[in-house]
Each structure stands twice: as C-alpha cells, then as structure tokens.
Structure 1
Amino acid sequence: MNTDKNANSPTAPLTFDALEERIRVAYCNDNRPWVIGYSGGKDSTCALQMIWRALQALPEPERQKPIYVLSSDTLVETPVIVDYIDEALAKINSSAKSQGMPITAHKVVPDIGDSFWVNLIGRGYPAPSRRFRWCTERLKIDPANAFIKNRVAEFGEVVMVLGVRSAESTTRAQVMALHKLEGSLFSRHSSLLGAFVFTPIEALSVDDVWDYILQTPAPWGADNRQLLKMYRNAQAGECPLVVDKNTESCGNSRFGCWVCTVVTKDKAMEAMVDNGEEWLEPLLDVRDFLAETLDPERKKVVRDFRRRTGRVTLNRSGDGLVPGPYKFEFRQEVLKRLLEAQKEASNLVVDEPAPTLIHEAEIHEIQRIWRRELGDWGNTAYRIVKEELGNDLYAQKADDFEFSSRDGDILRQVCDEHEISLQLLSELLDAERAVQGMRRRTSIHNRIASILEKEWRSEEEVLADLETDTEEGESSKEGLVR
C-alpha cells in the first residue's frame, strides 16, 4: 500500500497511484456504505475501475464495507447502451463474487406509471424541451433516489460516489465546490438527507480518463476498447447518473435516451447510423417526429387547448391559449409509429437481440389511462398493437364497474345526441367508480364539483369569450377617458 501521508489531501499529487491511495483512505474512513453511480460511460467506468483496483490492495478484513454499483435504465436508453450495461453489470457481479470483493451491481428503472411512454402517450405529456424537461425527475432522479433512501434507512448514512469531473463544465465545478466539506474528501448531497458525495476523479481531464481505462485492464473483465469504439461510432459524451436537479442531465452529443428532444439533433444516434447501425434509423425517425411537435405552429395542431387540469390559460402575449397535452388522436399516432419502428428495427438488426421500444406493462397502463380519462372503452391501444405486431392483449378486469366496447358506443351516441363531452361523462363515471362500495360517499360531491369546474366548451367558444371580454374591457377604458 502506498503510505503517502498526503494522499487524503485535496492537493495531493494527481498520479493514478495517489488517487487510488486517496480512495483507500476515504473507504477506510468510516462504516458508511458506498453507492457508485455507473452509467457505462468513460467517466463512471474510470471511477469504478479505480475504486476496484484501490480496494484490491487492501487486506480482505479491511474491505468488508458494502459497495453498491447503481445503474439507471430510463427504459428509453439507446438499445446499444442498454445491452452493453446489462453485460457489464453481470460481469461486475460475477467477478466481484469470485474475487471476494464487497461489490454488488444493481439496475433501477422508473415505475411503470412514471415511464416516458406512459406519460407521453398515456397522459399526453408533450415531448420534453429545455423549458419543460419533465422526464429527468421521473425517469432518473426518482428511481436512483429511492434506492439511495433505502440504503440510508438501512445504514443511517451513505456515500454517493460519482464519476464526475470539474473540467466537464464551469457549472458542474461550481456545484461541486459549493457543497464541499472543509478538510474532508466528501461533500454534502444537495438534496438527500443522510447522503454524502465523493468524487474521486473530479480533477482528471478527459485524456487522463482514457489513459487510465485503456492502460489498466478492467478488474471485472470488460474490454474498454469496445467502449472506445462505441464513443468513436457515436461521437458522443455520456449521460451521468442523475441524483439531483443540480446535476446536468445530458449535453448536445451524448449517450442517453434515444427519444431525447431537448437537443436540436441527436448527433450520437445519427453518427451510429452513419457508422453501420442502420437498424437505429427507425428510432431516429420517431425521435425527429416528436421533436417536430415543439414547433409553435405544430403545437396548435397536435395539442389540446386545455391543460391536463381541464383549465385554459391565455398566453402572456395575449395571442391564443397555452397548449395542453397531446390530443387523443395524436397519441394514437405516436403509439402506431413507435410499434412500426420496433417492427422495422427488429427486421434490420443483425447479431443482436430485437429491441423492445415499449414494454407490455406500459401498454396496459396506457390503455388504463385512456379508459379512465378519455372514455376509450374500445381498447384502442390493444387494437393498435394487434394491427402492428399481431399480438393480442387483454385488460385485467379491475372491478365490476368496467365498460365494454358496446357500452362505449352507446355512451358516445348519448353524448352526441345531447351535445355532452364524452370525456366529461367518462370522468364523472370514474369518480363514481372510485367511491363505489364505500360507506361514506361525502368525497363524491367534491370530485363532481372539481370535474364540472373544468373547461368543457370548444376552443372556438373559449376564444370568442376572451375576445368579448377584451373588447368590453377596451370599451370601459374609452368610457373612462371620455
């Protein structure tokens, strides 16, 4: 073991040996378990590899403290990366066990109700943008934090080990410095109580990272030259494990979610296609199709004029209404295109497992939402799956208050005859279903009132009303002037 007394100092020499010694000092400092964020990219690979090698130099009695390698799968990661990470996690678990290392690898995924497609296709959330990036918290932060909180509950405190570097961005360097504990190798986590942060490679440059992982074999048997090849093919950076809102999610050229519309162009996906991964092109087409909906003119076509709350909001400019969720017809189109892309990619893929772009559990949840919120008793999602993939899916009957396709046709006919919104009737019936069998039904009145307070008029009627109110307001002003 290196006995450099200054190895635990922030100003210790930045040789790889000194960094490994600093890791050993940090590891032996207390009994708090470590959770290492692993995204499969170069930085997290470097951090994990350096920690593994550092601990190998410790006598076995001194490396008993558990280390959890945590990887987050958003369920919309680029399939190439998912396969790579799954293989890496399996090797990590196998090698750690055979080498007697206190390391276990775990993968977390978002709850089905929080998944990307359930929110976008099911609830109609618009494609993420810089102004409304609803995906990061649901897909990345919440699943990772749930794992960390469970470890905090078990051990009292934990140390999050992140493969982040100050040189990546000025913002990241400032955030890392802000929470640093004076005289310590650790920082306080910005939001999680009982969690501390250790960043062993924060001072390394990108060249240092590649030098280390290419010159030093991965202890779990991975071939880091395969990782280098992936970077070259994608011309990309990586998405780190995101555990708080201060962590930058992804850059303009990165490994990450293939559906990401926060960036103008997915250069990584485009580069992969250009470098021979033609089966990814259908995925890129879906991503570009969603990105088009961020255009202001396109929003007016594909999005409802009501918010999900049922209310309407006037634009700050006073010109029109703030668009709400995607219309039901457009959500159906997205599901259709997604399944077409899955089928086309499966036909093009060579020597790889066929990609699953949307899971069966997500389709069940989408259909459940469509039935409850939109009155889709004809099971449109299941029909689309049947048409595109030839698979038969059936809803599990939740209770005796379920409508058939025939019931839906009758209700739709009644609504048309009396000029009542089918969605209004659907929500009222769902409110009744929610309190069915209860002894006390006092909450039903509040639920009905809340539903009736929503905006059920047409967009034309709402805009005409707003225009009338504006004209009357102007007339009042003129009267006061006179």
Structure 2
Amino acid sequence: MMGGASNPQRVTFTDLEASIRSAYVRDERPWVIGYSGGKDSTCALQMVWRALAGLPPADRIKPVYVLSSDTLVETPVIVDYIDRALADINAAAEAQKMPISAHKVSPDISDSFWVNLIGRGYPAPSRRFRWCTERLKIDPANAFIKRKVAEFGEVVMVLGVRRAESATRAQVMALHKHHNSEFSRHTRLPGALVYTPIEDLSLDDVWSYLLQGDRPWGGDNKELVTLYRNAQAGECPLVVDTKTESCGKSRFGCWVCTVVTKDKAMEAMVDNGEEWLEPLLELRDFLAATQDPERKKEVRDFRRRNGSVTFVEAREAPIPGPYLFDFRKEILSRLLAVQNEVAQNAPPGEKVVLIQEAELLEIQRIWREELGDWQDTVHLLVADIMGCELERKQSSDFRFDADDAAALRIVCEHHDLPPQLLAELLNAEREVAGQKRRSSIHRRIETILSKEWRDLDAVMDEREERARVGAQFS
C-alpha cells in the first residue's frame, strides 16, 4: 500500500494516523477540514477523527472545523446526504467529546447562481466564461477561513486531495509543497496553511480505508458506495482557489453545470432508478443549449451589462451580452415548474428546494431597478405556477405598482424610449433622494445616457457607414 519506485517502504493506515496525531499536537493552529461528502474528503475526515481519538483527552483540545460548501444548486440527493452527515458529525463529536464541529457555507444571495443567471442575465457558464466557481465555491469557503484566521492568527486547511487523481493535481501539489514539512502555504489566503494527509493514497487505498468498519460519526459508508455506483462519479473538492481543478466530466456537484458537455453523473443516477431527477437534467440541457452560436442570437442581448456594444476586429456581429428579459422569464417559469414536478415525485422525506425565496426576492429587485419590471413579474409567476404568494418586502421608498407600470409604458411608447432607460433613471433618482449633496446624480445620469440605447439595426448601420468612409480614405 502507498509504495512506489522512489519509496518502496510500505506505509500503513496506522502510520498515517500516527503522522496526523503528530501534526495535530505540534502547534495551536486550528484545523479546517474540507468536506464535500465524496470519497476523498470522507477518507481524510475519517482518518483525522480516528487519529485524534487515539490522543488523550487533554491533548485533543485544538478545534477542528469540518467545512462543507453548498452552492445552493447541488444535486438534491447529495444535499440530503451531506446535511445528514453534518448533523451526525456534530452529534457524535459532542457525545465523544471530540473538538470537531461541522459547518456549511453558502454564497451570498446576491452571488447565487439563479440571481446571476435569471436576475442579471449571466449566460450559462462555459469553459471560456466560468463565472460561477468564484462566487459559489471559492468566496464562501474563503470567507469562513478568513474569519478563523482573524480569530486565531493562522489556520491549517486539511484537504482530501491525492496526487493520483490527475497529473495536474500532482503538479500543483508538488509546486506548493515545502521541503521537509507536511504543511504548505496557501497561495491566496494569508495565514492559511495546507495539509494533505492522504495525498499518497491510491483509489483502492481510499475505498479500503472507508470500508474497514463503521464511521466514527455513526453508520458506515455503504450509502456512499451506492451513490458512486449509481452516479459513476468522482467528487468536487472544497474549492478555495482558481488552481483547484473543477469537477471534471463525471462528478458530484452542481446539477446546473454547463461547463461539461454532458452531466454523466446525473444521467447515471436517472438510469439507475432516480427518475425523479430527470426534469433537472432536462433543464440543465436546456441551459446548455444556449451556448450554441445560433441560439445565442435568439436569447442574448447584443449589448453588454454595462450598456456597451463590443466587436472583435472584423467580426460582423457584436459579442453577445446577458440573456434577454423575456428569456430570463422563460427560465424562471421552467425552473418553478421543475421544482413543482420534482417535489411531487421525490422519495418520501426528500426535501427539494431548487430556488430559495430570498433568491426570488433578489431577482425581483434587480428586475425592477434595472429593467423597469414594475408589475413584479416574479410574484406573478410564483403565484401562477407555484400557487402561492411570494412575500412582498415593505419599503420606505415609493414603489411603482402595476397601474404605474402601464402608465410609464405608455410614456415610453409615446416618446420612443426604452423602458429600461426610464427604469435606470428613476432608480438613480431614488438612490440619491433625501441626500443633502446631490452632485453624484449628474454623473449617474451621464453614465446612463452614454449607454447604447439604439436597436441592433441602427448600430450595425453606423458600423457599416464608418467602415465605408474609412475605406474611402485608406
């Protein structure tokens, strides 16, 4: 086990646990264990737990935080599995008087997947524009770690990563490994060190360790084996920097992931009896289809979010911007319908929430302020599709209602103004209302008016005219 040409000596699991105990008692820096619920992170946690259990109670007082990252778009089966595991970890740690506590972090609502995709119109993530990883995974985990660094000065991050996972992983680990030290400095988090106790284990080693008895926090890993068998999947590690590899082609992770061509893990789950997940797979494929060049022309604005129009050299069409408002409404309608369907067909006890109420409220706020959606379309869709009323936040500011929206649309049509232009101007005025110094309003108005408000035909006509005049003088 764990032998190689350069190190023929066999290292046992007992040796590894002894090494972990030595690393733990070496200093007072608390540990943060990244836990995704997958095989490698479970192996690392299980090994650390058993190692610390071998210490006298007086020596195991340094806190160990088990950190799990929930992107809010994880596969429901995995969310349920991890939530139960975190609850079991906390209960068992208290009963066994272990210095271990489990914590789950999530992105801020304003950074969530649906708020960005449906609210702001960000296109489905791709390899060229993977806007999701930092917002959904890196930032929430790093915020937790930074709080612990501020509290303790330094922390040790324990990650269940292995050299054998991939050549890229091995190169990154070798690059940051300190000679003659088990710890390495984190490249992006000052005050954080990285410890990878299972780095030399093979895949067979991991499963052998996981299946050699019960878990320290109760139960065994047979359910984990079943998850892997049904999903034919790898796992997503706790992501704390951009060098950490993404989930890959077959993985446990976000069910909305469109970075991969096909979600093989989800497809395998459906094929192996989890048919109730099929609507999620269909919605994911619906989003992935918007990456097709021809589809982009139909569903995305020709303007960027900042109101500019960008061309690349001699490219005929502008670089597409965010999803059009009508298409965002279509996505939300499909998502709410899928949530209804999946919730009805889910196994007993399976709680399914695909989009949170706080996300819906944030989407509505963005639509009102940026797009002039004064009739509160989100509320209407929720009532029509879900059959329930979405909470309406009370505000001290004046809010337009549906009648006001109709009147403003008439004004826009009469003066040939885009409703979004009027919406942004009104929002700019609202933000400075009541301030003693209102000088900033002039800059805001200038910025808004400088955006491209013409239609695509007018923009292209101007571009062709400039090219024609330029050719005459060249």
When the two structures are superposed, what TM-score results if normalisation uses the length of structure 1? 0.96
- Residue 416 of structure 2 is aligned with which of 400, 419, 440? 419
Give the drift of 1:18: 1.0
1:467 lines up with 2:464 in the alignment: yes
| 157-166 or 390-399, larger mean C-alpha shift | 390-399
Pairing of 1:54-453 with structure 2 (within 5 A): 54-453=51-450
Secondary structure (helix, strand or coil) at the match of 1:309 reads: coil
Q: Deviations over 1:253-283 (max 9, x none)?
A: 0000000000000000001001110110010
Give the drift of 1:469: 1.0
Secondary structure (helix, strand or coil) at the match of 1:215 reads: coil
Q: Deviations over 1:368-409 (max 9, x none)?
A: 000000000000011011111101114213233211111111
Q: Deviations over 1:317-343 (max 9, x none)?
A: 422100000000000000000011111
Secondary structure (helix, strand or coil) at the match of 2:247 reads: coil
Secondary structure (helix, strand or coil) at the match of 1:260 reads: coil
Q: Equivalents in 2 of 1:22, 1:243: separation in Å?
A: 25
Answer yes or no: is the 8 Å Cα contact 2:31–2:65 preserved in 1.
Answer: yes
Q: Deviations over 1:429-481 (max 9, x none)?
A: 1000000110011111111111111100101100111111112112212xxxx
Q: Are residues 49 and 114 of structure 1, via their aligned partners in 2, closer, same or farther at CA, if it must alter by over 3 Å?
A: same
Q: Equivalents in 2 of 1:440, 1:118: separation in Å?
A: 32
The amino acid across from 2:298 in the alignment is: V
Secondary structure (helix, strand or coil) at the match of 1:26 reads: helix
Give the drift of 1:173: 1.0
Aligned twin of 1:22: 19
Answer yes or no: is the 8 Å Cα contact 1:88–1:222 preserved in 2.
Answer: no
Q: Deviations over 1:38-95 (max 9, x none)?
A: 0000000000000000111111111100000000000000000000000000000000
Give the drift of 1:13: 4.3
Secondary structure (helix, strand or coil) at the match of 2:32 reads: strand
Q: Deviations over 1:169-209 (max 9, x none)?
A: 11111111111122110011010000000000011111110
Q: Deviations over 1:342-367 (max 9, x none)?
A: 11112221223241111111000000
The amino acid across from 1:65 in the alignment is: K
User: Cα RMSD over matched residues?
Assistant: 1.1
Answer yes or no: is the 8 Å Cα contact 1:236–1:253 preserved in 2.
Answer: yes
Q: Equivalents in 1 of 2:451, 2:294: separation in Å?
A: 25
Q: Equivalents in 2 of 1:474, 1:371: separation in Å?
A: 44
Taking only the aligned residue pairs, the percentage that are identical comes to 66
Aligned twin of 1:457: 454
The amino acid across from 1:384 in the alignment is: L
Q: Are residues 394 and 89 of structure 1, via their aligned partners in 2, closer, same or farther at CA, if it must alter by over 3 Å?
A: closer
Q: Equivalents in 1 of 2:282, 2:371: separation in Å?
A: 28
Answer yes or no: is the 8 Å Cα contact 2:303–2:320 preserved in 1.
Answer: yes
Q: Are residues 12 and 54 of structure 1, via their aligned partners in 2, closer, same or farther at CA, if it must alter by over 3 Å?
A: farther
| 385-394 or 365-374, larger mean C-alpha shift | 385-394
The amino acid across from 1:461 in the alignment is: A
Aligned twin of 1:480: none
Answer yes or no: is the 8 Å Cα contact 2:213–2:220 preserved in 1.
Answer: no
Q: Deviations over 1:293-330 (max 9, x none)?
A: 00010000000000001000013442210000000000
When the two structures are aligned, how many residues end up with a matched partner? 468
Answer yes or no: is the 8 Å Cα contact 2:297–2:320 preserved in 1.
Answer: yes
Where does structure 1 differ by over 4 angstroms across 4 or more consecutive aligned residues? 10-13
Query: Which ranges of structure 1 fall in alignment gaps of 5 or more residues?
Result: 1-9, 478-482
Query: Which ranges of structure 2 fall in alignment gaps of 5 or more residues?
Result: 1-6
